[in-house]
Each structure stands twice: as structure tokens, then as C-alpha cells.
Amino acid sequence: MTLDKIETINGTVEIKAKDFSGPPKYLDLDVAKKNLLDLKEVMDESGVKFGLIYGTLLGAYRENNFIKHDHDTDLYVLEEVKQDLLNTLPKLLNIGFEVCRYDGLLLSISRNEEYIDFYFFKKALFFYRKNSPGLSAKSKYLENTIDYTFLGVPFQIPNNVESFLISLYGNSWKTPIENDLSMNHHWYIKTREFVRNKVSFLFPLLSYLKGLFNKHLNKK
């Protein structure tokens, strides 16, 4: 459920909700770069560790730039660092950012009509970290990071970045493909769609097992 405010040690932050249902526009690269660099300065001053992920990681590593046909900037934070990030929001508001979405799994901020999404990954079973069924990754990728120079400054990326990109986008990750979402390559999503389309009689069982799995995780 999307919230309307966030409590931080530096005060309450109001969420100015925006409609994300319309057709997305491509990034304004100059604005996206300045937003990311200004955000990083605040994060570094506050000691909040974050990393590049999804299309932003792919562009930084493959093209040393944002992907021209991308729609926003994708970053991630480990669940145990989430509150530290939320506590920096008043500082981000002071430099012109707005908080436009937050549901506990995803935080979206914007400035000059360009968005930055923060994905929060909590520990899950089988050495994974989970944001949602289609947005999960092996813990080693998200926890073991290195400095990588992007936009002239160091950002955190997975130590074994090419293996991680293969897990996100398949072996074709080196080839630019417009709107090639990582969810399209995720094992859970692919398995679910196979069951739905090929052996639909098993879909209720898969849904039931998923419910038990999520119930177990919520007890942790």
C-alpha cells in the first residue's frame, strides 16, 4: 500500500503522489546525471550505502552512460539500511527533490520531472534477497560490491557484475534491446508464465505454494 508520509529522525516527509500509469518518457540525460550526482553527494555525506541496479547498472557498465531509451534511474539499498536512507529525505527535499511514491518496497523521488527509484531488498531463503517475486537476486550480488567509476565518481556495483547482468538480462545483456525488462528473464516469472500457458491446471498449486512461502517469510 502506498503511504502518504514517511517518519524520519529529521521530521515527517510528505509524499506528493504522482500518477505512474501513463506512458513513460525517455530520460533527459543531462537532468538524470545531475540528479544522480547530487543525490550521491547527500548519500555519501550521510554514510548511506547504495548501489546501481537494473537499467542504470546495465547502462553504466555496458555503455558508460545512461541507456538512452531508459525511463528512470534504478538504485538499490539493503533492507537493513532502509531507515538510514529515509532519514536523508529532508536533505534531499532541501535540494529540490520530491518524494512521489513509497510502499516499503520501493521509494521514488523526482526532480525536474526525472525519477529515481530505490528498491529495498530484504533477506530471503536460499541465499537470496527479495523485493518482490520478480525482483530478487542472490545475496552475494547485492552485498559484495566494488567501486566502479560512472559519471566521473565511484558508485557501488556487484563484484561479479557480468554474472549478475546475465542473471538479470540473460546472455544477450551486451546487446541493446529496448524495453527488455529484467523481469522478463527472472526464473520465477518465466516459470509462472510457462505453468500458466502450458500446464494451467498446476497454476492453483503454484499460487498456493507461493502463499505458504510468503507466509513463512513474513514470520521471520
Quote the pLDDT of residue 187: 54
Compute the distance between CA of residue 146 and CA of residue 141 in angstroms, rounded to an integer. Answer: 10
User: What's the chain's Rg over C-alpha atoms?
Assistant: 18
Tens-digit pLDDT profile for residues 59-113: 999 999 999 889 999 999 999 999 999 999 999 999 999 999 999 999 999 999 9
Domains of the chain: 5-185 (3.30.460)
Q: What is the mean pLDDT of residues 137-154?
A: 97
Q: Is 90 exceeded by the pLDDT of residue 185?
A: no
What is the average pLDDT value for the chain, to the nearest integer? 87
Compute the distance between CA of residue 203 and CA of residue 166 in angstroms, rounded to an integer. Answer: 27
Q: Is 60 exceeded by the pLDDT of residue 194?
A: no
Q: Is 60 exceeded by the pLDDT of residue 220?
A: no
Quote the pLDDT of residue 172: 86
